[in-house]
Amino acid sequence: MNNKVSLSHRFSRFIVEYRWVFTIIFIALAVFSAIMIPQTKIIYDLSTYTPEGGMTQQSIALMREEFDDKGSLTVMYADVTLEDAEIILDELKDIEGVSNVVFNADTDYKKSDALFNIILNDYDSTDNANATIERVFKYSLDKDTYFGGQSATSYLTRKNTEKEVLSVGIIIVVLVLAILLFTSRTYFELVVMLLVFGTATIINYGTNFLLGEISYISNFISIILQLVLTLDYSVILLHRFIEERETRSPKEASAATLGKGIPEILSSSLTTIAGVCALILMALPIGREIGISLTKGILLSIVTVIFLMPALLVFFSKPIEKTKHRPFLPNVTNFARKTLSARKVIIPAFIVIVSLACVGQFFNTYYFDINGSADIVSQKERIAQTFGTTNTLVVIVPNTDTEKEDALTEHVLSKTIINQALSLNRIELLGMDIRLKDKMNYIELAQTFEDIDMSSFSWITGISNKSEEQLMLGIIKDYINKKDPNSPIPIEEYKISLANLLVYIYDTYPILQSVEQIEQFALAVDNFESENYTRIMFNINGAVEGENTFQLIEELTNELGLFYGEDNFYLAGESVMNYEMARAFPDDNIKVLLFTSMFILLILLLTFRNLLLPLIMMLTIQGGIWINFAIQFLMGNSILFISYLVINAIQMGATIDYAIILTNRFQTTKKQLYRLKRRHCRVIEFYISHNRHLRHNSHRHRVYYGSCHLRASDFLTWNVTWHRYFSFNGNGSSCASTIIICLKQMDRQIPNSPT
């Protein structure tokens, strides 16, 4: 024990002795971290945080590889004329970073609202894509505009998060300062704690680049939690420093404070770390990232408090001393006594409330659309008022059999919740009963173009002045020589789809790339078909999550394998992402609850070496968690699933600290009362052995000596009993005075530890 105390003392003195060195190190780390903050990549598209190996991640990887998917967004301009819409179309196309803009006056203009689908040059959520969206937003400032689509959602999420971080941060700092001021002993301690918190936060925020990239959720949560924990640890050292400062110099007081405060800080942080580490075990990558991020923040808070704060206490010891003030916190002793006296009512009431709250957990509802902020949802709803609900479901299948593709499309359309399908196999050429994926030989192709108004396809005459049949024969020959030279099929029987023909013409004759009709067809082909896969886009006439939507995804997951095999199809879309998160949630919930409870219970057992106390503490805190979420049920609110998991872990891990502090204080007070009782027993024993009158009444002092072993709560009754005894025997005040004198003397001589 002495070695441990000596080691702790030497460690504390070392930190205080070299306080300037540690201060310079932390200043350097803070400057470096501030520089690195902009280098951290923040992710706002959470589709990559779905379960690893799941359908969403596979589909996104495949689409980027096969279709070179770029970002896209939909923009609706309200209360415009058709002429205005045509002007807007041209102006949107001229915006830097816009690849193409799709607008069909027949389907995309309704009730004086115009809907545009904008294709970007860059991938979703990249800096260039965000810059392009920013330019679209600036262009639309003077118009009644509503945005939708994944790229717009990611952009709006980033903007909203930046605003919320600032506003929420200001509110929290103001509230924390008010609470700290209310509980403070000196005014200047607020400056010290803000310096410690600011340093820890900057270092944590700036070192997130070590993680490669981080979601905006993890980034936001870690800052808020770090504020609370850093101040919590700072308060422990600060108040102890003020106490030590009454009898020691600033350096000695700081060293003594650190030596005594380290065990409290480490024991307090251990349960919190155990709670957040349970998040790392989640199947969802977002949970693991939050767990790692929070653990890093807690560790940096501990390091900052232990190595920087002692130096600041020494540097600012004079301002701390000079700004002492009277306590603002009222005396709560009477309230505590009343609470304790009502324990026979409070405990049963608590058990009943917790039981009801526990049952209420089974009735809570959860939502999984993480990007569902009020701003984003309101804009989607406004677009839906005119053009209907837009909830795209993408099905990707091998590009091998158009008949099978037709059968799959019809099967999905048979679902009542599906109201639209779009694919190359369903796009008709100029209203004719000919689809882009229909295959024809050169004679059929020539006949097709004979039936078309050539003025609409003026670009075809730019190739040659030959007849349609001769023209098609020459194009097919050229196509076979370049694309399929080993084909054994005679040219008269060789068939090619309209889609492939149009793309080939577009690529072969650069002069036609500026022709709008063929450019639109080429874009459609690139968007729907690759060499190996084709994709079909369906619209779900329902919310991105919910019972009906999730049932649809589950049915399609089981049924589409009948067309192409179990592993030969892919599903993508917001609803698919939410469905996968919803499926992973129950298992992750059990993991977080069990491992958090197990870790913390183990720590408490090792700390108290008692089974009952840890169980009481954990049941109390868990009851508080259940009550917290039962309130949401009573208010009719759904709970964001990731919030539920994080709060479960943090509330258990962090709140248990207060239970530990209260329990330790209870045990300490109990021991002190026990020591006081033993001292009274020794005084009485001493008095009995030296008092002749009591010696003649030995039968009485046996009885009353035995009463010395009463509980601490019986001390008052025990003291009154002895007072009555002495009065009865006529010793009166002289005996009482003797006991008081002996008690004071014994207090000086009896060691503090019970014997």
**Residue pLDDT, tens place only, 561-583:** 888 887 788 999 889 999 998 99
Least confident of 433-442, 562-571, 703-712: 703-712
Per-residue pLDDT tens for 73-122? Answer: 899 999 999 999 999 999 998 999 988 888 888 888 998 999 998 888 88
Three-state DSSP class for 366? strand
Q: What is the pLDDT of residue 28?
A: 96
148/144 Cα distance (integer angstroms):
14
The pairing of strands 366-367 and 639-640 is parallel
**What are the extents of the domains in the chain?**
399-571, 666-749
SS3 53: coil
Report the candidate in 242, 235, 230, 237 with the shortest Cα–Cα distance to residue 263. Answer: 237
The pLDDT, as a whole number, for residue 411 is: 92
Positions of E strands within 407-458: 418-422, 439-440
Question: How would you classify the pairing of strands 109-110 and 145-148?
Answer: unpaired
The values of phi and psi at residue 323, to 5°, are: -100, 25
% of the chain at pLDDT higher than 70: 83
Contact 431, 408 (CB under 8 A): no
Mean pLDDT of the chain: 79
What pLDDT, on a 0 to 100 scale, did the predictor assign at position 710? Answer: 36
* Angle at alpha carbon of residue 565, lines to 562 and 570, rounded to 5°: 100
Beta partners for residue 393, in sequence order: 538
> CA 345 to CA 354: how far, in whole Å?
14
Q: Give the residue with greater pLDDT, 729 vs 448.
A: 448
pLDDT at 352 over 90: yes
In 554-678 the beta strands, taken as DSSP E runs, fall at 570-572, 639-640
- Nearest of 40, 75, 7, 588 to residue 286 by alpha carbon: 588
SS3 21: helix
- The DSSP line for 497-546 is EHHHHHHHHHHH-GGGGG-HHHHHHHHHHHHHB-SSEEEEEEEESS-SSS
At 622-673, the pLDDT tens digits run: 888 899 888 988 888 888 888 888 888 777 877 777 777 777 777 777 777 7
Q: What would the DSSP string read from start to end of 678-744? A: HHHHHHHHHHHHH-HHHHHTHHHHHHHHHGGGS-GGGHHHHHHHHHHHHHHTT-HHHHHHHHHHHHH
The model's pTM: 0.75
- The two beta strands, 392-398 and 570-572, are antiparallel
CB 509 within 8 A of CB 475: no
User: In the numeric block, which tokens belong to residue 32?
Assistant: 């470096």
Report pLDDT for 729: 39
Alpha-carbon distance of 556 to 412, in angstroms, equals: 8
Q: Model confidence over 269-291: pLDDT tens digits?
A: 888 888 888 888 888 888 888 88
- SS3 state at 120: strand
- Per-residue pLDDT at 451 exceeds 70: no
d(CA 302, CA 393) in angstroms, rounded, equals 47
330 DSSP assignment: P
d(CA 133, CA 154): 10
Looking at this protein, which amino acid is placed at residue 40?
A: T
- Cβ proximity of 22 and 102 under 8 Å: no
| Rounded Cα–Cα distance for residues 94 and 101 (Å) | 10
**Residue 622: its pLDDT value, please?**
87
DSSP 8-state code for residue 331: P
Distance CA 664, CA 406 (A): 72
User: Distance from first CA to last CA of the chain, Å, rounded?
Assistant: 19
Q: Pick the residue with more confidence: 253 or 232?
A: 253
Task: Please report the pLDDT score of residue 742 as a whole number.
Answer: 40
Q: Percentage of residues in the chain with pLDDT exceeding 90?
A: 16
- What per-residue confidence (pLDDT) applies to 82? 92
Residue 362 contacts by C-beta under 8 Å, 6 or more apart in sequence?
Answer: none
> For residue 73, what is the DSSP state?
E
